Structure 1
């Protein structure tokens, strides 16, 4: 590995301290180790930098020029590190690329964006909404809002909130087709289903008498890969949808959708998490956004 800055520092220490042994003590190197590093620099450059005697060290003309440039380079390195460290400690800034589930983005993130940007005006927010799982590194994305468990061990996640699935339908649909009283009644209803995992056609239920969980296969004339799309079709009165409650909480509160079969709901937890690439030091803008979501979202 090329460590020319480290070699420059060794040479500067030798010149400042007047001997290999003194430089070695300061850098926790042996005198022979210091001598080898200086000799390696001279061999690479093809010139002698130091004139050595038993009593003193003296820089050659080439050595004086090289050490002067080395001091300038080391000063620039220190300045660059101070600037980055100071920036990390200051207000979050820079472009923040976020990917979010469509429904979560529309219902939760977008309404909060003005407040976040007012709090952190130096952040440039870049938001993409998709229900597909993206490659954070490949897509150069800082943060993703997802449901479910992590499959990539290089990623870290912080819980934002927990939700659960609920079966809903519009008042219009229920007026036309009746309210199902038991899971068996679903045989007479139209299901709005997901197409990305066939097991989602089998809806789980909990027997209120025994607590046992079982499933029933639900049939319908629509399948989609987006919770946002399934929600819209439920609102349009097309059928019953089993969907994450965070998608439809505001619709339920407004009476646009009605939960059904709640006595049979197993209420399995669906965790919504902020997912990011794990680093020893998380960028200030990423940390600020995650903290902001945890603070502001009360689902």
Structure 2
């Protein structure tokens, strides 16, 4: 079967939404969209519609790949094939076209996330040269948050608390306060040895500033950790959190637990979620300590197009 290729900018939004929803109708998590939600995704993740592609069988759109661009980095924000046309090579065709476009644009790398259980997709990306970087997790909590540890969080923002319990590696005073997103975003780059996943990078978070809140912890005058979160009818959403890399792992965990405990105190929600938080480190330990369960594991992969 011969498939045509067109740019996403050339398809109307209603047809794009129908294609997207069909392609992801049997996905591991619910990612159904409407026009407003898809437009928001395109804006938030810097998807370039002139550099993203749709595959056609005659006049019927059968697959789509979204390419996001930030500087010299690219990101496959989504690649899906209509369910009735899967396993026919459409996905590989689209990926090769997106990678060709990435090279034409002079990008140095392209990254993506893939569900760890999706072996067929991982095999395709490996075939195209992608290599794994780290594991990420989707987390969920549908029970009341754990009780506050005595003295672990200040009673009011701006007050001080002393971490003297046996789980705290820092025998010092910690202040927790709400901070404007403009004051949190520099910490996203400073406190993560590897950038957060594309959706949680500062460039994405800044576009959601009107819906997100930032808390930052300090010891003396130095920032030690941050958390970015939002609240909605669906519950609490933890967008990202990290602690200063100058601290040891146990200290980083303790600082982040203080922050998430403060969030749970101030925004007590039965339901809470966190997306694409790194596994096998202090951030995973923080979420487990706050009662979250891992619901889906993903693998972050990258393809280097240029070597220094």
Instruction: Please tell me the TM-score bracket, short chain as reference.
Output: under 0.3
Question: Which structure has the larger Rg over C-alpha atoms?
Answer: 1
Q: Higher helix proportion, which one?
A: 1
TM-score, reference length from structure 2: 0.21
Q: TM-score, normalised by structure 1?
A: 0.22
